[in-house]
A and B are shown apart, each in its own frame.
Chain A
Amino acid sequence: MQTAELKEICKAVRRDIINMTANAGSGHPGGSLSAVELMVSIFFNHMRVDPKNPRDPDRDRFVLSKGHAAPCYYGVLAELGFIDREEFKNFRQLHSILQGHPDAKKVPGIDASTGSLGQGLSIAVGMALGAKTQGKDINVFAIVGDGECQEGQIWEASMAAAHYKLDNLTVVFDNNGLQIDGSNNEVMSLGDFAGKLRAFGYEVIELPDGHDLDAIEAALSRKVEGKPKAILAHTVKGKGVSFMENQVGWHGKAPNEEQRAQALKELEG
């Protein structure tokens, strides 16, 4: 899909994020908005999935390890036709398939239940290993948060990905630099993030602008053999909504009606 079309999809997904969180009165707009271009690019240009056959055993797999970005995920799945936008009004409500964090039991198109940080990447590693073990040509994608990399399990999983030479695995690190209590550097510095990824055995591609669709496309398209691929994407938390950009406070807070209106207006512009 061309960049211009992807841009329109990103816009629609951003609107979904604002509306979903505003309707629910809770949720995580900041980290959802930072992941939009990354997730849209993965799903529209690289994932082999079919909304008419969401459980096809030979489909590609996706794991949103930073599960709190569920509104972004739901927006993308609706845009693809896995779920109906009608369901958005039930996000975070009793009996809804759209739980606060992704639930693989309930939502077609979701391959793993995530939200407990640090766990999703290991699941993706298991999927990639499971595909290779069975000689299946299946690619696995994961989006991991930067704050999430303070969990030791991310590094256990990374070690395993390199050990098992999982070149069918692409791990995108959404490095928006912020987490609930402050910046990564204030809370628990990640140090030389790219250097750590390299040391753990990834082929690392660093994206200075994690919202540049052409750059994301180039990174996702690059062939890597014999090792897993890491895309370290520097992003902006709250991207696209001026008053949310780079603001820690918008990690897990929903916009009120006035803020919703302003955000939607900005997203139209």
Chain B
Amino acid sequence: MSEKATRAAYGDALVELGGINDKVVVLDADLSHATMTCGFAKAYPSRFFNAGIAEANMVNMAAGMSTMGLIPFCSTFAIFGAGRAYEQVRNSVAYPKFNVKLCVTHAGVSVGEDGGSHQAIEDLALMRAIPGMTVVVPADANEARKAVLAAADFEGPMYLRFARLASPVFEEDYPFTIGKANVMREGTDAVVFACGMMVSAAMDAAAELAAEGKSVAVVNVHTIKPIDAPCVLEWAEKCGNVITAEEHSVIGGLGDAVADVLMGRVCCKFKKVGVQDRFGQSGKAKEVLKEYGLTAPQLAQAIRETF
């Protein structure tokens, strides 16, 4: 299985999009070689705007540009886009329903060496709480590309979350529709609802458990909001044991979004796998993921514990 970071796919998709849609503009805050918007900057220099290290201003410039008929893709690290500029996103983008795509990279603890200050683990919680915000976390590079293309055709504010670390790319092609979860693997004993690179970890965990005679379903919930409630209900009812997996705090992210759907409606065992209310830290990305219990074998163990 080949590997590619979703941020790299984002950068490539922007270049592709630039050739299709001349209304697309890209803003960055001095991180274009990390967010990978540098490819677009090179291909379409007149439609690329560096805001400098000033994320609040960047988000509001994007808001203003969106009112001029442009489709701004606004990029920085997740910690700055959702964190530093939170209130700008809330009041100047989401409140007036402006057509801005906030595309953040370096989300989660897989940032690695830069450490806890740069590892956003609460961005999904922040963005999900904003009325009318669409929140998407692509599972792999292919899905990242499709999500970027779909975002350009979608009218309204959207948050797209990409990772720094290269992660497996699924060989099988599958459709991407905003708000429609993808069932990656069917099963009967447990279901894992996952997003981002945890989808791939869930697939590996399901394979490991299959060897033990357990049938585990994996649902790729790439759209955290609006969540695909019918799909979540269907698979929770079918499997009985529910596990959520995300590279994010267990507070306010995918796990809570799934719990909100199930609470009071389905009787099931429920377990949230994610960052357990602590900050991230420096280390090699894969070591950090292991420290926080986000590897496939650790996820398999978490699933096992629900049987």
Contacts and interface: CB of A to CB of B under 8 A. Distances in A.
Q: Do A and B bind each other?
A: yes
B64 A124 contact: yes
A164 B58 CA distance: 13
Most-contacted residue by chain A among B51, B57, B61, B88 (CB, 10 A): B57
A57 interface: yes
Most-contacted residue by chain A among B47, B66, B95 (CB, 10 A): B95
Interface residues of B, number: 29
B185 interface: no
Given A129-B65, A134-B68, A116 B91 contact: yes
A123 B64 contact: yes
A122 interface: yes
Interface in B71-89: 72, 87-88
Contacts of B66: 126, 130
Given A126-B61, A129-B49, A159 B54 contact: yes
A126 B54 contact: no
B63 A126 contact: yes
A116 B69 contact: no
A130 B88 contact: no
B96 A57 contact: no
A103 interface: yes
A160 interface: yes
Contacts of A118: 56
B96 A105 contact: yes
A134 B70 contact: yes
Contacts of B97: 105
A4 B245 CA distance: 69
A18 interface: no
A35 interface: no
B68 A123 contact: no
A119 B64 contact: no
Contact of B57 (A61, A115, A160): A160
B47 A133 contact: yes
Interface in B10-56: 25, 46-47, 49, 51-52, 54, 56
A127 B67 contact: yes
A157 interface: yes
Contacts of A63: 64
Contacts of B95: 103, 105, 113
A50 interface: no
A134 B92 contact: no
B77 to A, nearest CB: 17
B188 interface: no
A132 B91 CA distance: 25
B67 A111 contact: yes
Given A103-B96, A113-B96, A125-B61, A130 B56 contact: no
Given A116-B91, A119-B88, A127 B64 contact: yes
27 contacts: A57-B69, A112-B96, A116-B91, A118-B56, A119-B91, A122-B56, A122-B57, A122-B92, A123-B92, A125-B60, A125-B61, A126-B64, A126-B72, A127-B64, A129-B65, A130-B67, A134-B68, A152-B56, A153-B56, A153-B57, A153-B88, A156-B56, A157-B61, A160-B51, A160-B57, A160-B61, A163-B52
Given A123-B63, A130-B65, A160-B54, 18 more contacts: A57-B69, A61-B67, A63-B64, A104-B96, A105-B97, A112-B63, A112-B64, A113-B96, A116-B91, A123-B60, A125-B61, A126-B62, A126-B63, A126-B65, A128-B64, A130-B69, A156-B51, A160-B52
Interface of B: 25, 46-47, 49, 51-52, 54, 56-57, 59-70, 72, 87-88, 91-92, 95-97
Smallest CB-CB A-B distances: 7 pairs: A126-B64, A130-B68, A122-B60, A126-B61, A156-B57, A156-B54, A130-B65
